[in-house]
Chains A and B, each alone.
Chain A
Amino acid sequence: MDILDLTAVELGERIRKRELSAPEALEAVYGAFRARGRNLNAYAAFEIDPARTAAEHAQALLDRGEASSVLAGVPVGIKDNINVRNCLTTCASKILRDYRAPFDASAVRKLREAGVVPAGTLNMDEFAMGSTSETSCYGPVRNPWNTGHVPGGSSGGAAAAVAARECVCALGSDTGGSVRQPSAYCGVTGFKPSYGRVSRYGLVAYGSSLDQIGPLARDVRDCAALLDIIAGPDSMDATSVPFPDSGFLDALSGDIHGLRVGVPEECFGDGVEEDVRLCVEAFLDELKRAGAVLVPLRLPFIRYAVPVYYILATAEASSNLSRFDGVKYGLRAAHYNTMEELYTRSRSEGFGKEVQKRILLGTFVLSSGYYDAYYNKALKMKQMIVDGLAEAFGRCDVIALPVSPTTAPALGSSLSDPLKMYLSDIFTVPANLAGLPGLSVPCGFDRAGLPVGAQLLGAVGADSTVLNVGHAYQLATDWHKRRPRDSEEVSEHA
């Protein structure tokens, strides 16, 4: 059996049993990247030297018996917007094309301390802005199930790599669905923790009040094992929350007897592709069979989630991205005569179209005279959504819904209709607005053979509950074990 078919937890076990070493596991991943990497374009960069150093360090920890994590020695791909010390951290943007991070993100630091090996940076939508991973300065990522389709985004490189066995598991970031939606499109498991569960220190900010680092992996157990490492309060992030619970992997009992699963009417109606609806309904049936109780819900406010999200996220982005000005690091325009020109040319040359669009939108909604009409109103609506969801969790333990109304669209079809692309975020953005934990699990395929994802949301802090429901489902089904044929073969049929 190819070791890249193992889950992260299985691989970790073999490393612990000395059936293979951390450097050997890394070389296997690196080999897969070299063999198939350019085909899917899943990686932004794979700097092997620092990864080898990390693997040796991990092996040394293992040899000294100082590696407590079940994932010690396992290579983990890192989305290109999470700082990895001395490595390229470019957010798939021309403006940061040669930027090397001067420090580790807290999540990466914790991985290292646990003996996990940061291995390669994964392609994404530029600055995590997009749902297709087509806006990268490195070119679009392709879906391993059908290379004529997008992998979703913005953590599309991570989802594609995990699905295609080019990496074992990965850290992504989720601002409006950027972990869950590509996981669904690529048939892998992705988890967005409660806001504040994982430190954002070292994650290059898109929408600071919404961003959260989360794992993408083969199954819920791998996600829980990664979360065990990266979760926890951090003095470097003032918004990190000291949630009382931990031990997510150990908490996976698979028992969901009597658990109440809310089913929002709005998420199974118009606009949801039939194949998606059927797969997610089958998902609900499976939960029922496992002992859960389905509770019909109405979440009428959900239709405001997308406009509210795009106002708040772009407003924050316009501010977060203002530091890329050509003065201190990153791209600086070659020719300029004035300070003003240095700024405008560097930013115009450095940022792609989608990023520019969102910066302009965000700048507009914060401008004097429009602040109350847009930003302030969006804040109020956000509170309404927060309250509405909190109220819903009085009647159920988790909410089940599709991750996306569709499966992965064809390459190039989304950017030409951006409004449609934005609206397809409808089922993922509520979790970000309300800071909820959200899990995406594979639950079938559409008639074209593209994966469908089901989503589980929990109340703030109920990460463990959400993961356990997903785990129960994966004990009963094997959708998460399906793998795409080798991408070379797929491309022939595409």
Chain B
Amino acid sequence: MRYEAVIGLETHVELATQSKIFCSCGGHSTKGEPNTRVCPACAGMPGMLPVTNRRVVELAMRAGILLHCDISRYTTFDKKSYYYPDLPCAYQITQWFHPVCRNGSVEVTTKDGTRTIGIKQIHMEEDAGKLVHDDWTETTLVDFNRTSVPLIEIVSRPDFRTADEVMAYLEKLKTMFRFANISECEEGAMRCDVNISIRPEGTEELGVRTEIKNMSSLSSIRRAIQYETARHLDAVERGTETLVQETRRWDDVKGRTFSMRNKETAADYRYFPDPNLMPILIGEDWIQRVRDTMPASVEEKTAEYQSKGLSEKEIASLTSERALCDLFDAVTALGREPKDAASWILTECGGLLRKHGQVMGELQIAPGKLSRIMEKVSGNEINRAAGRKVLEAVLYEDADPDAYCEAHNLGAQGDADAVRQVVLKVLDSTPNAVRDYLGGKKKAFQALFGGCMKELKGNGDPQVIRALLEEELSKRS
């Protein structure tokens, strides 16, 4: 008999908000020394009250729109109770009864084709803190920085059949969410619970389901799915063990899952509506506003860049990061040519980042400064090599392009008279090379050219130098 895996995903995504979900502490979970991003509210001090950050609701709506969900007109926050030291109130504020989005779908493409994965719901919730175990003193410390950082949880339908599909789905969510400024999707900012069962192909009834909790790396998720599917197969086909509905954890070192708790010992979370937070009513106008202010999708940007004459490769590179698109759009809006802008961003900036051991995603430059450099080069004020030098200074010393050029005496080479003086000096000081060239040894030109460049400290425009050299040599023939 052939079996198929039935896999569903619960994906937690940390939202890119300035502040936490229910207080005004900074929202970024990975920044700051322990317990520096915490206030009486997110530390659960007596008498504190949560107040909903509207931005969180809007980003959740944005995710819902991207995943073709119905946006709820009435949505509530509920309390989920359990004791753990990283949960200061001993309840998590989440959405249980009326999640913000329902009934969506997303298409995922693997080598086996394209399939549609159903989205059951998206809900908002707060993250918990972190426990830090100190083996040296045998103590456990709590870091509340991550407490109340906003998350959305995307609950898929059990529509996945292979680990490949799961990978393609997660990659797609990542790109989508980064691109729409919903989440920065950095390491650890996306965590998954995976539900797995198996059944004979062609049947409908679901087998015994296990859930693997809290994995954040794609490779762990893939390996865990493969391991767990094989474990189920062994149990069903060879009777190696009896499967029970339970929650398991993935041990990345040992490469296996192990049982955390089963149904009998499952926690009773005692969900009930949080009386401190009024139900949120979402009107058509609010949804429309979220739609209107939503950044263009990858598809829309691709079409736009095609019409501007960019190559497939350039488009793919630019649309890999929202920030690159924003930079490109800003630079072209300042009047720079699209092709030229793409080349400066991808080739020049990209080259410098690589040289400094960075990746494209780390690029940070004021569009005005990049535009100014491009303007100087295209206007022959400086040559491209000099432009690159200015760019490096702008990127790594926060230099101003004009001030930098002046301070480093760049730009004079645009002045033909100055270059001509250099050319004449070189010709006068190397009569042998001049004689060789005039005698027919065309290679000598290269030596003369190099001499000029050296004299100009590499800042000369090659075309200008070449033209002047030829002009002056012809005078001496």
Contacts and interface: CB of A to CB of B under 8 A. Distances in A.
Contacts of B81: 318-319, 322, 366
Contact of B45 (A91, A329, A371, A375): A329
A19 to B, nearest CB: 37
Contact of A201 (B47, B270, B272): B47
Nearest to B79: A319
Interface string B20-52: 000000000000000000001001111111111
Interface stretch (A24-32, A204-212, A302-310, A485-493): A204-212
Contact of B276 (A202, A208, A318): A208
B142 A327 contact: yes
A323 B276 contact: no
Contacts of A339: 85
Interface stretch (B88-96, B164-172, B335-343): B88-96
Contacts of A102: 40, 45
B409 to A, nearest CB: 57
A390 B52 CA distance: 29
Max chain A C-beta neighbours (<10 A), residue from B268, B277, B278 = B268
A134 interface: no
B346 to A, nearest CB: 46
Contacts of B79: 319
Given A325-B90, A366-B270, A105 B47 contact: yes
Given A102-B40, A208-B275, A235-B51, A363 B270 contact: yes
B57 to A, nearest CB: 13
Contacts of A83: 46-47
Contact of A204 (B46, B89, B268, B275): B46
Contacts of A393: none
A371 B272 contact: yes
B89 A322 contact: yes
B68 to A, nearest CB: 31
Given A103-B40, A204-B46, A239 B275 contact: yes
Given A103-B40, A322-B83, A205 B272 contact: no
Interface string A213-240: 0000000000000000000000111110
Given A208-B275, A343-B83, A375-B272, A101 B47 contact: yes
Nearest to A127: B46
Contacts of A96: 46
A148 B22 CA distance: 47
Nearest to B85: A327
Contacts of B45: 102, 329
Contacts, number: 92
Nearest to A101: B47
Main secondary structure of the interface of A (DSSP, over half): loop
Contact of B277 (A236, A238, A316, A375): A238
B374 to A, nearest CB: 46
Contacts of B272: 315, 319, 366, 371, 375
A368 B40 contact: no
A204 B91 contact: no
Nearest to B89: A323
A-B pairs, top 10 by smallest CB distance, nearest first, are A322-B90, A209-B275, A366-B270, A208-B275, A204-B46, A202-B47, A323-B89, A323-B44, A83-B47, A204-B47
Interface of A: 81-83, 89, 91, 96, 99, 101-103, 105, 200-205, 207-209, 235-239, 315-316, 318-319, 322-325, 327-329, 339, 343, 363, 366-368, 371, 375
Interface of B: 40, 43-52, 79, 81, 83, 85, 88-91, 142, 268, 270-272, 275-278
23 contacts: A89-B47, A96-B46, A103-B40, A201-B47, A201-B48, A201-B49, A202-B47, A205-B276, A208-B275, A208-B276, A209-B275, A235-B51, A236-B49, A238-B50, A238-B276, A239-B275, A239-B278, A322-B83, A323-B89, A325-B90, A327-B85, A327-B142, A371-B272
